[in-house]
Structure 1
Amino acid sequence: MSRPVQPVQDYTTTCLIMAFVNLLWVFVLVFLLWGLPAVMVLAVILNAGIDRLRSHLDRRA
């Protein structure tokens, strides 16, 4: 019994907003616990990870 494929809503914007909110509260928590230098280190690590992911995805395409 196959049903026709129905289009679904695009939740990309919602997902990106929630990722931003989660990242923001994590940065605030790290800032409150260990200060600005720890937030900066975390940001650099996340940026390096995102850059590695981007280069990996570019090589696959």
Structure 2
Amino acid sequence: MWDSSTTQPSNQAADPERIGQHGLEIAMAVSQTFCVHREPVGKRIIAVIELADDSGGDPAGRRQQPS
């Protein structure tokens, strides 16, 4: 994702009373990699998330071939 704000994302302290603003925490928890790149205007955030094809947990597009 990209936005024009120069403010870098930052985690907030854990607070069970906080409503909202959990997006960064969730993205970092489920991502294999998470990085922020400064752009000439704003920033670009890249989060790599592995998806599962089925309940067996095979990664999307990588199902094992039957033997």
Q: TM-score, normalised by structure 2?
A: 0.23
Structure with the larger RCO, 1 or 2 (CA within 8 Å, 6+ apart): 2
Q: TM-score, normalised by structure 1?
A: 0.24
Q: Name the structure with the higher helix share.
A: 1
Q: Name the structure with the higher strand share.
A: 2
Structure whose alpha-carbon radius of gyration is higher: 1
